[in-house]
Amino acid sequence: MIVPADVPLLRAARREPTPFTPIWLMRQAGRYMPEYRAIRARHGFLDLCKTPDAAAEVTLQPVDRLGVDGAILFADILLIVEPLGVGLEFAKGEGPVIHRPVRSVADAERLQPIDVDATLGYVFETVRIVTRALADRVPLIGFAGAPFTVASYVVEGGPSRDFLATKSFMYEEPAAWDRLMGILAGATARYLQGQIAAGARIVQLFDSWVGALAPADYRQFVAPYTRRVIDAIGTSAPVIHFGTGTSGLLAAMRDAGGDVIGLDWRVDLDEGWRIVGEGRGVQGNLDPAVLLARPSVIRERAADILRRAGGRPGHIFNLGHGVYQQTPVEHVKALVDIVHELSDRR
């Protein structure tokens, strides 16, 4: 069986009325869950991503434990760059490291198109396993990193706060930037198409670090490539277009595409939706730090977001970014129950 098209998450993505506001959480399968930590004790991170049975188990863990309205695929946005040959490593305690960053024209010219099917088939197998296990309960959410965010890791060599190497490369070598972004956009489109073909019913494009850019730079150096990815998905699945620190970019992100625009906690939901416009849904936007507070505070903040949404079709409740590893599991479960209770329209 497959998840029917009228489940709340898919209806909300199409801006159709729902019996309650659907909720899922970024990083809902992660280190805050003891079940996840138990699996991680047996697998390195890349090994876990590349072991479909284990990755599927992690993907499924929160569905029954939390009662969320969607399962988010367990993977990583940088899996797609490993085939580029830039030396991806997930160093213990350091996060992702790129040992051969792309910082020159010569570096960019050495890059070759990524054979997604040959190199990322293990992700598609995870999707198939999860889809079978979910049956008709909730949809699986596939995802990928957006070209800019992935490119920023490739250029910087890892995480960054100021993105100076990325911006310098973008400004100084626009043709090389175009080559890098073009390769990433093409591979990302094929990667998401493969996830959808394997069973994902909705996908999210994570442009987590795009908030570092000025609006004009976003429109010139990022939007064309993001649009290329989203246009390639077409009507095969709804697309959630997400970024952080993007209060000044929401209109430009809307124009780049997506059925639903993700909002972080730095903008009030009603104001963000006004900027995005009634023709798109919105997702968000609780500060994940609120989940460290007592349940009465969680309830108060969730109620405020729901009030700002006003029961309008098209709202998917989520955090403004991922669940922190220090978060008590019972607080996450409380949020899911609170959102379902306060938004019940039956």
Q: Are 24 and 86 in contact (CB under 8 A)?
A: no
Query: Considering 36, 69, 107, 153, which one is annotated as catalytic?
Result: 153
Residue with tokens 């960019």: 108
Residue with tokens 């213990």: 92
Cα distance from N-terminal residue to C-terminal residue, the chain: 26
Q: What's the token pair of residue 95?
A: 């996060």
Examine the residue annotation and report whether 31 is marked as an active-site residue of this protein.
yes
Query: Considering 69, 76, 259, 264, which one is annotated as catalytic?
Result: 76
SS (H, E, C) 74-96: CCCCCHHHHHHCCCEEEECCCEE
Query: Is the link from the previous residue into 318 a cis peptide, with omega within 30 of 0?
Result: no
Strands 71-72 and 140-145: parallel
SS3 for 189? helix
Examine the residue annotation and report whether 36 is marked as an active-site residue of this protein.
no
Examine the residue annotation and report whether 161 is marked as an active-site residue of this protein.
no
Collect all residues with Cβ–Cβ distance below 8 Å to 177 and sequence separation of at least 6: 108, 151, 169, 170, 221
Q: What's the token pair of residue 150?
A: 């992935």
φ and ψ at 47, to 5 degrees?
-60, -40
CA distance readout (Å), 314 to 136, 192, 244, 260:
22, 22, 20, 8
Examine the residue annotation and report whether 76 is marked as an active-site residue of this protein.
yes
Q: Are 32 and 332 in contact (CB under 8 A)?
A: yes
CA distance readout (Å), 140 to 3, 64, 69, 281:
9, 14, 9, 19
Residue with tokens 């990302």: 188
Examine the residue annotation and report whether 132 is marked as an active-site residue of this protein.
no
Q: Kindly calculate the radius of gyration of the chain based on its CA atoms and give it in whole angstroms.
A: 19
Catalytically annotated residues: 27, 31, 40, 76, 153
